[in-house]
A and B are shown apart, each in its own frame.
Chain A
């Protein structure tokens, strides 16, 4: 039942993030030139929107050029003041704080015409990694 509970928390927070992401992209993409391709949209997410939400840009963007993108934030703001007695404990407790941002990313991409799945994890606080798999992703 803990898994069910965790899943429902995920669905809920992710959905809230999705709606916020839709609104953000609408609000902050209206004054910029039209996007040329998928990478252009991802860059907009990493630079402009990340700054609106977390006051810094994504530190590292990797892609396989087949629709998979990995975004790394070395100092993810929500994690800035988190600590626990043990490392494993801290990482486990930090995980739910990634659900909402995952939704934001998916919402932003969705409203700019990109269907994707987004997963996030943290190996070491305060860094966070987001993996975006777009619908046409090939391994």
Chain B
């Protein structure tokens, strides 16, 4: 797995400006708490809003990612997955989620999180619903979708389990929908 090793090396070697992790955790937690209030604890809406915020971040973050990591196009979706976990997550959150559970057609995989800086010190509201309905770190799904869309991959990402809900692992399922073709600009006349 030469490509995978290369990704690991790039992730290790890329130097980035660091911020305090607790500042990130606190700020993110405050935003989620505020959204829960805004939407009157309608967690489906909170999830959706977090995803949307992530999408907007992802579309910009990919630029920063490409400039910092200095990597080129991935040759297939397996390389993309390695790049996401070993370079992307490494330089922005300093973690390397495990890529696993590939589907037979190589179009679906899972990211397993041993640690999740966004969810440090977090407890979900004990209103009997948050445990079943809120995906606390849902912003990550949006980030992946936004970032990959900018490099011509249309994907779908969603959480399937979260240790905050009492599950054994935190897992995001990522599905490649299609590669986006270059489109001709609309005719002037």
Contact = CB atoms under 8 A, between A and B. Distances in A.
Interface of A: 12, 15-16, 19-20, 23-24, 27, 52-53, 55
Contacts of A19: 26, 30, 33
Interface in B33-50: 33-34
Nearest to A100: B27
A24 B34 contact: no
Interface residues of B, number: 11
Contacts of B20: 52-53
A24 B26 contact: yes
A24 to B, nearest CB: 7
B23 A52 contact: yes
10 contacts: A12-B34, A15-B34, A19-B30, A20-B26, A20-B30, A23-B22, A52-B20, A52-B23, A53-B23, A55-B19
B18 to A, nearest CB: 9
A52 B18 CA distance: 11
A55 B18 CA distance: 9
A55 B17 CA distance: 10
Contact of B26 (A12, A15, A23, A55): A23
B31 interface: yes
Nearest to A18: B30
Contacts of B26: 19-20, 23-24, 27
A117 B16 CA distance: 35
Given A16-B34, A27-B22, 20 more contacts: A12-B34, A16-B27, A16-B30, A16-B31, A19-B30, A20-B23, A20-B26, A20-B27, A20-B30, A23-B22, A23-B26, A23-B30, A24-B22, A24-B23, A24-B26, A27-B26, A53-B20, A53-B23, A55-B17, A55-B19
B37 to A, nearest CB: 10
Interface in B145-161: none
Nearest to B27: A20
Nearest to A19: B30
A15 B27 CA distance: 11
